[in-house]
């Protein structure tokens, strides 16, 4: 038994809540899901974890570090819900498309766009939280939160792409516009921090 | 001070003061006591003892009837909450025992994790009380982020604040909340 196998992976939970080894195995499998949305959610979760690490290791110089830890935990909890929704709505959308059921498609696709939009919202907030952390944490960890912001941007950008794809590229849709705005916000956060390293 | 203090004012009085007013026959104080602890009592019955909603409702009624009858037995007015918790526990056990064919002792009925659940409920109630004592601005921003799951952008738009400042404001409010819970005043303002 390898060391990583000793870590309990609960396959009944969403991919995001599983351990890294299971995450990689399941994403690489020949099953329809988990796929891109879940992978993007996991990236956002890593970003939140990096913010948490920087805050935890900065308590001596940052009295309000606990506030950022609590916010990262809250955003992480939202990601878990989003990850579960992403898998479910994606499966339902694919099912309706394969069945060619117009009514089912009309019902399933909006939700399949809503879930990645929610992921983009959370990812953008993780980017903003990373900026807050970067400016207050022990500067030895500035690069950690810069990377957190970069990962958050990647997750937001990926999620925005899925919004467009699941809306069948109806880019005039308000959800697409909001997703693009969220990507811009996350990108700005990452660029700001990268320029400070 | 008259007996019929408005409910809004009663919501901020201490548990001990509330008990004293109840003993003096203040109906509004009784109403406030039930309002303040109703969710707590129901949570113990449903979460710690996993009673059905109907059984939990029966326990709820019994707890407050007995509180009305026996409040004079309370030796320390500051200890209202633990006294209510103990009374609720006992009535929950009575309810479970009544529903089983074989009489069981109380220890056997105590479910795994009951103490942890009660501790969590006590913490939740303490946080709720501390939140109630916070300035409106802090209470609102914490409620929006942690309870309503609103994004920084939505909070910023609602409160007329730049979204980039929301995270730091939440952190300051959490620090103040922590100070409230620790029983000491924070060193600085909140926003």
Residue-range definition of the domain harbouring residue A69: 15-196
Of residues A67, A122, A136, nearest to B174 (C-beta) = A67
Q: Does A78 touch chain B (CB under 8 A)?
A: yes
Structurally, chain B folds into a number of domains equal to 2
Q: Does A63 touch chain B (CB under 8 A)?
A: yes
A4 within domain boundaries: no
Structure confidence at residue A134 (pLDDT): 97
Contact B178 A71 (CB under 8 A): no
A6 within domain boundaries: no
Collapsing DSSP to helix, strand or coil, A189 comes out as helix
The pLDDT of residue B95 is above 80: yes
Among chain A residues, CA nearest to B177 = A67
d(CA A82, CA A114): 10
ipTM score for this prediction? 0.86
Best residue in B152, B163, B178, B187 for a mutation probing chain A (most A CBs within 10 Å)? B152
Q: Could you tell me the two tokens for B179? A: 């100070």
The pLDDT of residue B2 is above 50: no
Residue with token string 């509330």: B18
A9 within domain boundaries: no
Of A133, A126, A118, A74, the C-alpha closest to B142 is: A74
Of A73, A168, A185, the C-alpha closest to A120 is: A185
User: Taking CB atoms and an 8 Å cutoff, what residues of chain B touch A48?
Assistant: none
Q: Does A18 touch chain B (CB under 8 A)?
A: no
Contact B171 A64 (CB under 8 A): yes
User: Taking CB atoms and an 8 Å cutoff, what residues of chain A touch B168?
Assistant: 64, 132, 136
- Helix (H), strand (E) at residue A171: none
Of residues B145, B151, B168, nearest to A121 (C-beta) = B151
Best residue in B141, B163, B168 for a mutation probing chain A (most A CBs within 10 Å)? B168
Of A150, A144, A143, A10, the C-alpha closest to A80 is: A10
User: Taking CB atoms and an 8 Å cutoff, what residues of chain A touch B166?
Assistant: 128
* B107 lies in the same domain as B143: no
Q: Could you tell me the two tokens for B159? A: 């409160």
B89 within domain boundaries: yes
* Average pLDDT of the segment spanning B140-161: 95
DSSP string, B164-188: GGHHHHHHHHHHHHHHHHHTS--SS
Interface A-B: count of C-beta contacts within 8 A: 52
d(CA A166, CA B184): 52
* B26 lies in the same domain as B87: yes
d(CA A26, CA A71): 29
The pLDDT of residue B102 is above 70: no
Mean pLDDT estimate for chain B:
84
B123 within domain boundaries: no
- Residue B50 backbone zone (phi > 0: left; psi -120 to 50: alpha; other: beta): left
Could you report the per-residue pLDDT of A72-88, keeping only the tens digit for each?
999 999 999 998 888 88
Which whole-number Å values give the CA distances from B111 to A13, B85, B94, in the listed order?
Answer: 25, 15, 14
User: Taking CB atoms and an 8 Å cutoff, what residues of chain B touch A130?
Assistant: none
Q: Does A141 touch chain B (CB under 8 A)?
A: no
Q: How far is A168 from chain B (nearest CA, A)?
A: 26
Could you report the per-residue pLDDT of A125-167, keeping only the tens digit for each?
999 999 999 999 999 999 999 999 999 999 999 999 999 888 8
pLDDT band at A114 (very low <50, low <70, confident <90, very high): very high
Check if the beta carbon of residue B167 is closer than 8 Å to that of residue A126.
no
Structure confidence at residue B11 (pLDDT): 74
B128 within domain boundaries: no
Check if the beta carbon of residue A159 is closer than 8 Å to that of residue A123.
yes
Structure confidence at residue A128 (pLDDT): 97
* B110 lies in the same domain as B144: no
* Average pLDDT of the segment spanning B132-151: 92
* B80 lies in the same domain as B168: no
Tell me the residues of B at the A interface, defined by beta carbons under 8 Å apart: 145-146, 149, 151-153, 163-164, 166-168, 170-175, 178
* Average pLDDT of the segment spanning A52-70: 96
* B23 lies in the same domain as B68: yes
Among chain B residues, CA nearest to A68 = B171
Which residues, 6 or more positions from B85, have their beta carbon under 8 angstroms from its beta carbon?
B40, B44, B118, B122
d(CA B2, CA B29): 12
Residue-range definition of the domain harbouring residue B141: 134-191
Q: How far is B36 from chain A (nearest CA, A)?
A: 27
B37 within domain boundaries: yes
Contact B171 A122 (CB under 8 A): no
Identify the CATH number of the domain in which residue B23 sits.
Answer: 1.10.1740.10
Identify the CATH number of the domain in which residue A106 sits.
Answer: 1.20.120.680
* B19 lies in the same domain as B71: yes
* Average pLDDT of the segment spanning B117-123: 84
Structurally, chain A folds into a number of domains equal to 1
CA angle A143–A178–A136, rounded 5-degree value: 25
User: Taking CB atoms and an 8 Å cutoff, what residues of chain B touch A129?
Assistant: 167
Contact B175 A132 (CB under 8 A): no
Structure confidence at residue B133 (pLDDT): 83
Could you report the per-residue pLDDT of A173-190, keeping only the tens digit for each?
899 999 999 999 999 999
Could you report the per-residue pLDDT of A13-58, keeping only the tens digit for each?
555 556 788 888 989 999 888 889 999 999 999 999 999 999 999 9
Among chain B residues, CA nearest to A69 = B171
Of residues B164, B171, B173, nearest to A128 (C-beta) = B164
Which residues, 6 or more positions from A103, have their beta carbon under 8 angstroms from its beta carbon?
none
- pTM of the complete model: 0.76
């Amino acid at each position: 038994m390898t060391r990583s196998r000793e870590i309990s992976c609960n396959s009944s939970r969403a991919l995001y809540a599983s351990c890294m080894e299971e995450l990689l195995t399941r994403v690489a499998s020949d099953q329809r899901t988990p796929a891109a949305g879940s992978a993007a959610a996991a990236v956002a979760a890593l970003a939140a974890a990096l913010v948490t690490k920087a805050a935890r290791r900065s308590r001596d110089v940052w009295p309000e570090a606990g506030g950022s830890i609590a916010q990262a935990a809250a955003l992480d909890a939202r990601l878990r819900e989003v990850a579960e929704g992403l898998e479910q709505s994606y499966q339902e959308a694919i099912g309706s498309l394969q069945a060619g059921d117009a009514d089912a498609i009309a019902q399933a696709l909006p939700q399949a766009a809503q879930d990645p939009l929610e992921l983009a919202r959370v990812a953008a907030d993780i980017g903003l939280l990373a900026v807050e952390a970067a400016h207050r944490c022990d500067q030895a960890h500035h690069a950690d939160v810069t990377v957190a912001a970069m990962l958050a941007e990647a997750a937001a950008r990926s999620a925005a792409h899925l919004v467009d794809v699941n809306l069948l590229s109806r880019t005039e849709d308000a959800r697409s516009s909001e997703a693009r705005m969220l990507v811009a916000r996350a990108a700005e956060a990452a660029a700001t921090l990268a320029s400070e390293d | 001070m008259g007996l019929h203090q408005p409910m809004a004012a009663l919501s901020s009085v201490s548990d001990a003061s509330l008990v004293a007013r109840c003993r003096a026959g203040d109906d509004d104080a009784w109403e406030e006591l039930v309002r303040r602890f109703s969710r707590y009592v129901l949570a113990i019955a449903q979460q710690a003892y996993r009673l059905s909603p109907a059984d939990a409702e029966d326990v709820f009624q019994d707890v407050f009837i007995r509180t009305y009858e026996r409040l004079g037995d309370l030796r320390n007015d500051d200890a209202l909450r633990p006294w209510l918790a103990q009374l609720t526990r006992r009535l929950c056990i009575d309810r479970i025992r009544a529903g089983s064919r074989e009489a069981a002792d109380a220890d056997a009925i105590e479910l795994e994790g009951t103490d942890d659940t009660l501790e969590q409920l006590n913490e939740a109630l303490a946080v709720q009380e501390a939140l109630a004592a916070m300035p409106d601005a802090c209470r609102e921003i914490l409620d929006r982020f942690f309870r309503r799951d609103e994004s920084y952008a939505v909070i910023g738009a609602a409160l007329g604040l730049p979204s980039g400042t929301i995270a730091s404001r939440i952190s300051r409010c959490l620090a103040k909340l922590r100070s409230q819970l620790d029983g000491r005043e924070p060193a600085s303002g909140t926003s």
